[in-house]
Every structure is written in structure tokens, then in C-alpha cells.
Amino acid sequence: EVFRLLENSISKFPRQRAIQTLITDRDDVEYDFNVSDNQGGSSSIFEFDGHEKMYPGVGTDRVIKMRSITLDTAIDRFAISKSLDTLVLDTQGSELLVLKGGTQALARINWILAECADFSAYKMGCQCSEIGEFLLEHGFHEHRRFEKATKEGVGTYFDILYVRG
């Protein structure tokens, strides 16, 4: 349902294309994808952890099976331009997996905007510190941090902008 909304939203931009696929750090692995009941906004391959305290009332509507590919595979398979400059990530705890599966792409990217939490929002999901450490190893540093949501006793969600160099 969300994918159809995305396709409709970008239809007026002829150079944009929606691709529906699960991107992680491995090709051809089957995952349980937990579809959330908030119009899919909190859907993830990971189960909720602190997310439930941050957003009480948000739950899982259903679980579907999906097979993964890496970011590098997706770029090749869907003939995405290799002249990427910016990567935006909001994958509900799996941002680090996406980055690990895109090391070839990272070599060409200059800017990354990643949503992350400074607490365990999803069981086995990544946190801001892990993303920052990985990107530092690949030539990026944190440029700016935007607070999105915070709750005392739980933690904070951020959008963090990383830049190469």
C-alpha cells in the first residue's frame, strides 16, 4: 500500500523511480518483515524494543516474507545511475545493514542522511553510534544532527547528516 502511494507521489517527477525491494547486507536471504499498524511507518525486519515506549499504541499489523538484496546489487540490478551523490536512509533499525551492503556505492557518495536512535528502538537494530563508527571507517564524518523525537527515560531519534572528508 505504501509503495503505491510512493509511486503516485513521485509520478510528477520524470527522473524519479520507485523500487520495491528489501535492502540489507546480504543477497537472497529471507526475512520476516513486520508491517506496522501506523500505515507502515514503523515497519522493519526487526521487532520493536524501545520503540514501543517511544510510541505507545504502535504495533505490528502482520508479518510478510521478503528476500533481501544489497544496495550494491540493487544499483546494478535496477540500472541506477552510478553518479549518486546523496543517500537517505530511514529503514527502521537496519540502516547499518544497508550501509554494509553498499560499500561500492559508498565510495562514490558524498552525503548521507540517516535516521537513527540513541537507544535500542528495535531488537538487534543499530543505533546512531554504530552508524557513525562505520561511516568514519569509510571516510565520512558527522556534519549536523537534527533531533526528531525524544522521550525522557527512553531516548532520542535523530536525522544525522554525514559528509565525506
pLDDT at position 21, please?
96
Q: Which of 60, 7, 66 is nearest to 38 (CA)?
A: 60
Q: Which helix (H) or strand (E) holds 67?
A: strand 60-70
Contact criterion met (CB below 8 Å) for 151 and 54 = yes
- What does the pLDDT read at residue 135? 98
* pLDDT at 82 (0 to 100): 82
Cα torsion for 123, 20, 8, 64, to the nearest 10°?
A: -50
Q: Is 156 helix (H, G, I), strand (E, B) or coil?
A: strand
Provide the pLDDT for residue 1: 79
CA distances to 21, 39, 57, 111 from 36, rounded to whole Å, are 17, 7, 11, 29
**Cβ-based neighbour number of residue 121 at 10 Å:** 27
Within 10 Å of residue 43's Cβ, how many Cβ atoms? 20
The angle at the Cα of 128, spanning 122 to 132, to the nearest 5 degrees, equals: 140
Q: For the chain, list residues with pLDDT below 70.
A: none
Question: Quick check: 143 and 163 in contact, CB under 8 A?
Answer: yes
User: For residue 132, what pLDDT is reported?
Assistant: 98
Contact 25, 74 (CB under 8 A): no
CA nearest neighbour of 31 among 5, 66, 1, 4? 66
Exposed / middle / buried, residue 98 (Cβ in 10 Å: 0-12, 13-18, 19+): buried
- pTM of the prediction? 0.94
